[in-house]
Structure 1
Amino acid sequence: MTVLLPLPTTPAAAATHRPSEGSVHSWDLSTGVDGPGTRFVTFLSGCPLTCLYCHNPDTWRMRAGKRTSADEVIAEARKYTRFIAASGGGATVSGGEPLLQPVFAGELLHRLKHELALHTALDTSGFLGARATDALLRDVDLVLLDIKSWDRETYRKVTGRPLQPTLDFARRLADLGKEVHLRFVLVPGLTDARENVEGVAAFAAGLGNVARVDVLPFHKLGEGKWEVLGKEFALHDTPSPTAEQLARARAVFEARGLIAV
């Protein structure tokens, strides 16, 4: 699990160029959940989705973040480049939804890749994929793409948004040959119907660029944040999936020739 760290309040060093600025919730070093190896993860504020199981609802509003320059983020990431390189890791731009701030996200990805020579990942729902320019995607080595349901009604129930933009973005990534790690959250009684899992699996297998599928168990670790924000956590009584339920879901993806973990 990634623990979000607050941003420091010290001002950035004087820049020699005009970096973009964005609303940043936090940054952290993470292992295992935000891409391969140890990664420097920047969590941008703002998200157009309102997922029922979101464990960081405090990232939904852009104004809840701290106005931060790209220079500040790069200076912080620079401190860890040796350690990251030794672990075979990199840097991930996450959220919230990073494509809500495409100019800022694009500068971060470009500088993380070319200035710091880090492997880059974009963590996105794909809903705002049309905002990702080809230039931005050229600076992305890996896309962590969430497909939260294949059934359209379930997807809208989970996220408050339609599924189609995510599918369009996934196909665009496939056309570009961009490596994708697909992520699917298994929620008992909501997303675990076999036909729903099979729908996601068939779509993913047909793309040709999905290197692996992370079948993630629903959990309630963020429920306290919902309470602090005065929001009702609708899945309060929903259990986490059992090991057997997770294994069955992974088997559906594996039957389509995909690596599922």
Structure 2
Amino acid sequence: MKRCKSGKIHSFESFGTQDGPGIRYIVFLQGCLARCVYCHNPDTWALKAGFEMSAKEVFERIDKTSPYLKVSGGGVTISGGEPLLQIPFLIELFKLCKKVSVHTCIDTSCFFNVSRDSRRPSPGGLLAPLMLGCAAHPSWPPQLKQLVDLTDLFLVDIKAIDEKLHKNITNRSINEVFSFIEFLEKNKKPYWLRYVLAPGLNDKKEHIKPLKEFLSNLKYCEKFEFLLYHILGVHKWKMLGLKYPLKNTPAATKKDLQSAQKLLI
């Protein structure tokens, strides 16, 4: 009998409404390579934490809720942590979901290149990464294309356009995000872009205006949205004995959102 692939799981949410269309069953996976300064799930970082479940076991949880997921136009969203660190597990899980026509979605920050391979050229401008003409980063997992084909929608988190600011926020390069967006574009895969708006960090004109040019050249980005920075996860940092980097940053408001949206017009 074939053994099911196991995944490292952090937690589940059976009635999500913010992570994709309709009502979503959300599976939070364990493990993340980024260290975002405003992360509200720092307990998902450790690759060895969480608990193991087989793809079949996770699917059985999803399948129990599939009737109301489908009625709402929803489905399953895999979040984290970084889901793309567990590609073989996701392939097996999504194959099961597709057998019962469950809409599949992955929420990713695009940081799954453990080696941080430097052979990829750095973009010379906002549009350069979409003109490189490479099918995939040379160090990406060979199964990535198979997973992309099984995924109906990606939610791509973009923290900043500027390389220096992006590294300050995530400890990772923006080139990783650009490369993955290019890969989605070349494979004609629908995706949404999401940008956490943090007052005083990435909400100024010089941060938002470049986004307008970048977005105008994307063919398969179906939606762009600002997510308001909040402080709901600060207690998790304290529980883990970690110093919260943005302790003096207030939660973003609707006024902050309106100001940022005007800069995109």
TM-score (norm 2): 0.86
Residue 106 of structure 2 is matched in structure 1 by 122
Counterpart selection for 1:149 from 160, 165, 170 = 160
Deviation >6 Å, runs of 4+: none
Letter in 2 for 1:111: L
Residue 49 of structure 1 is matched in structure 2 by 34
Deviations 1:3-43 (A, max 9, x none): xxxxxxxxxxxxx5321011101111233211011111111
Counterpart selection for 1:24 from 1, 4, 9 = 9
Letter in 2 for 1:158: I
Alpha-carbon separation, structure 2, partners of 1:251 and 1:107: 43
Letter in 2 for 1:153: K
TM-score (norm 1): 0.87
SS at match of 2:9: strand
Alpha-carbon separation, structure 1, partners of 2:47 and 2:22: 29
Alpha-carbon separation, structure 2, partners of 1:182 and 1:77: 25
- Displacement of 1:116 in angstroms is 2.5
Letter in 2 for 1:118: V
Residue 177 of structure 1 is matched in structure 2 by 188
Residue 91 of structure 1 is matched in structure 2 by 76
Deviations 1:215-251 (A, max 9, x none): 0111000000000000011111101223222112123
Alpha-carbon separation, structure 1, partners of 2:31 and 2:210: 29
Residue 241 of structure 2 is matched in structure 1 by 230
Structure 1 pair 94/205, CA: closer, same or farther in 2 (3 Å)? same
Q: What is the number of equivalent residue pairs in this alignment?
A: 238
Counterpart selection for 2:150 from 132, 139, 149 = 139
Residue 4 of structure 1 is matched in structure 2 by none
Is the CA contact (8 Å cut-off) linking 1:121 and 1:140 kept in structure 2? yes
Letter in 2 for 1:170: I
Residue 18 of structure 2 is matched in structure 1 by 33
SS at match of 1:143: strand
Is the CA contact (8 Å cut-off) linking 1:93 and 1:109 kept in structure 2? no
Alpha-carbon separation, structure 2, partners of 1:153 and 1:95: 24
SS at match of 1:64: coil
- Displacement of 1:202 in angstroms is 1.9
